[in-house]
Chains A and B, each alone.
Chain A
Amino acid sequence: MDKIFIIIEFALMILLFIIAKYSVKRPSNRWRLLYAAPVFVAIIVAICEGFDVYHAGIYFASALPLWSLFLEEKKVHAKQLIATCSALIIAANLVVICVAPNYHKVSYLKDFEQGFETMREHYVLTKEKEIDWDRLYAKYHPMFEAVEEKQDYVENYKAWQRFTTEFFDGHVGYEMDGEKKLLDAICRSYGNDYGLSLARMTSGEFVAINVEGYERSYSIEGAKEDELGLYSVKKKFLSQNASADRLTLKNAGITNGTVITKWNGKAIDAYFDEVDYYFDQYPVRENEAFYQPIYVAGIGSDMTYGETYVPGKDGKASPSVSISFLDENGMERTVQAPCLGSYAPRMLDTFGKLGDGLNVTNLNWQEVSTDTYAIRISEMSYDQETYGGTDYQELTEKLREEVLALKDIGVKTLIFDLRSNCGGSPYFVEAIAKLFAPKGEHASYYSAVINEKTASYERGADGKYQKGVVSTYEGEDLWHDGQIILLVNASTVSAGDDMVYMMGAYPNVQVAGFTRSNSSCQAVIGIMLDAGRLAFSAVPNLLPSGEVAIDTFVDHVGRTPFDELVPFDQEAVKVIFDQGEDYLLSYVMASK
């Protein structure tokens, strides 16, 4: 817009220069309008784009031709001189814009201060999570000062990820504005791709997963489109020799499931302290432990966590990593794995392979076997009309009809696929849960009493929020004789956690997954900042005891029900990463 503005103003000055002479030959009152045109353009730009002090010269230059209105028609040279001066001032302003270090400076520090102060005042889990605001300010203020000084949006992304990780709360997150910048920042924040991800098996061993070169694995040359859009930028990060190097691990004998003993000569868990931010939030300690190795796989030799080599930047040489592994004979070998590109696309692909649920749309059923049906619940929303309210009767009736029909055809087991459920309305959850709850009245949560004058939630003398209205529902026990299995993962969050919490308590319901659900269920508020959006838990949901529901305390212990930790073993790795199948579903089917 700046360029267009300057070009238009400059062109108008040239026009006014020409018109000065031409208007004498063909006199008309309408030429006068042209002298006001530059200032109108400036006013419109100021209204639409905002007043910018760095455009002061252009504003002045655009107003200068108005002086010509005072001159007599025949003073051609004076009018031409004014147009020339205006053009020169515009050109000078352009130079100032080009060299001014603060032009279009993004106020990253102001964003942090605004976000921090708002959270300090309104974050509802300060006590439960023992948040030391002064410590956080002392730690992060200098970090954001540095970001502001360098005007580095990648460091801004990393700083916010670090800051939000401190809250170990699935409802605390920062989203940067600008899709291109965000994708670029993600690609530069999780290290480099050395051709594999890492995972910790239930046995404690670390194994290679999603290894480059295998049919079902992520490929740097693949055209698979991810939801976030990293596929559109990943080529920019590919190393010069990526194509030639991509099969290094495969050629060395590393497969999905190969035990990795050392990473750059160090044990993999020795890196865990270094990993100080994640792509997602893992409030439960055991969930965090499950995902930590995946992040380690981006750390290069002599590089810190998050440091990312970008071809053609900083003049650095392409990094590599030495990977020690057990070969098929159980002998430890080491291979030098070259950098293939940015690790973020492979990392997110790994998350997807581990966590994606059934490939059907929300609230649709899929036959798993003659006596088992699965319903996909990827979000807790039915339609736009119902989302803000509490009336989900239509959903309840629809589901009741479907469930009774399944009962009639002899289905014994229902699987609720809640993997990566991103949440939504708690009343949607009640509308479903009531069908399966034991007969009688059930209470889900109490709201907290809000101070209407300050629109804030305040704690009483006992340190607890004051209980407000309780939300109740009447159980129908439609599936009394059957079994219900809830499939969850660390990304089953918010209202997803609600459903696990509520239904997990019913006698015929079993909760299973490689990890627990996320354990974050206080309602969220988002605030707009100059360069992004910050969301955090701001509305408490309370248990009858007055304690906040579900969220983890400082002990990082998950409080949603969890019955069966599905072992992440060699078989799971093979089924997921070699066969591309849904291991979790197969596992619960086999063990039901």
Chain B
Amino acid sequence: MKNIMKSIWYEIYHRKTLVILFGAFAALMAITGFSGTADATYGFEQGGVSDMLAAHPWVPYEFPLLFLTIFVGYVCCEDYKDKVANYEILFGHSRKSIYFARSLMAIIVGTILSMLLGFLPLLVGNALAGWGDCLVYEDILLRYLLLGLPYLRLAAFLVMIAFLVKSPYLMIGIGIILSMMIGGLADMVRHSSSVFVSLFNMIALTEYEGWSSYNLDPTIGTIRYYAYDSTIPAGLVSGTIIASLFMTAFYLFMGYALFRRDELN
């Protein structure tokens, strides 16, 4: 299994498509950080990046979700095209090691890269506009680190899907749908807060309780003011950890159930 993982890592590292893809997403996230901070109510100086993150809570996961899906699709489905998995079986590797090598690489590397992407707007915005005082820095750091857990779970879920659909192109389609659910269909999604669904868990980790009011200005018109409480409830922390570990194991197990009797064609 270790050797298969090494070979997958070598392929990830040396496949230009993946490197360019990650670069493109990183650029996209950096631009999001730049434009989001510029668009924040008070401009660069006053609101800071915390204002942008509070106003656009989906920023750290909207595009990384798409990247994660494409990445998992690539790692898990690409080998169906060139029959690598079949050769591995011929060379005496067990199905278990073939499955877990691919899925663990997809999950771990995918999660780390997605988290890196998620942090980019924060870093770019912080460099441009400073932190601001909308949210507490330590709270957000903890929330963003915890975001890795639903990523982990989602990656495991996507691995299961990948072994079902066996097509990297279909995985791109699924990724687009997932991103749309966060962006376009956000209102539909947001009325549930169950930590057992990774999208809801991500939303719960990046949305902040608070109060919003406005004032009337004779020149500008309506000016909105927001006051957020970024403290993370203990229940959300424990819920995120328990649900993520449990669901990751469940999805991995189900993915293996699919893979172990698959004809690999």
List the interface of chain A (C-beta within 8 A of B).
29, 32-33, 36, 39, 43, 46-51, 66-67, 69-70, 72, 118, 121-122, 388-390, 426-427, 447-448, 450, 452-457, 468-472, 523, 525, 538-539, 541
Contact = CB atoms under 8 A, between A and B. Distances in A.
B213 interface: yes
Nearest to A27: B263
6 contacts: A36-B164, A47-B197, A69-B254, A389-B221, A452-B225, A457-B213
Nearest to A46: B197
B21 interface: no
Contact of B215 (A32, A33, A36, A468): A468
Given A390-B221, A455-B227, A447 B260 contact: no
Given A33-B164, A450-B213, A456-B227, A46 B194 contact: yes
Contacts of B189: 47-48
Contacts of B91: none
Interface string B103-134: 00000000000000000000000000000010
A12 to B, nearest CB: 16
Contact of A51 (B200, B257, B261): B200
B257 A450 contact: no
Nearest to A457: B213
B1 interface: no
Contacts of B260: 70
A450 B219 contact: no
Nearest to A36: B164
Contacts of B181: 47
Given A47-B181, A51-B200, A66-B257, A450 B215 contact: yes
Interface of B: 133, 164, 181, 188-189, 191-192, 194, 196-197, 199-200, 210-222, 225-227, 254, 257-258, 260-263, 265
B258 A32 contact: yes
Contacts, number: 101
A561 B33 CA distance: 52
Nearest to A32: B258
A427 B225 contact: no
- Most A Cβ at <10 Å: residue of B181, B218, B219: B218
B83 to A, nearest CB: 15
A426 B262 CA distance: 68
B194 to A, nearest CB: 3
Contacts of B217: 390, 447, 469
Contacts of A468: 215
Contacts of B188: 48
Contact of A456 (B164, B196, B200, B213): B213
Contacts of B199: 47
Contacts of B221: 388-390, 427
A539 B216 contact: yes
A539 B194 contact: no
A315 B45 CA distance: 69
A69 B192 contact: no
A39 B253 CA distance: 14
Contacts of A470: 218
Contacts of B191: 50
B197 A390 contact: no
A121 B194 CA distance: 29
B213 A539 contact: yes
Contact of B214 (A39, A67, A539): A539
Nearest to B199: A47
A390 B214 contact: no
A481 to B, nearest CB: 30
Nearest to B225: A455
A469 B197 contact: no
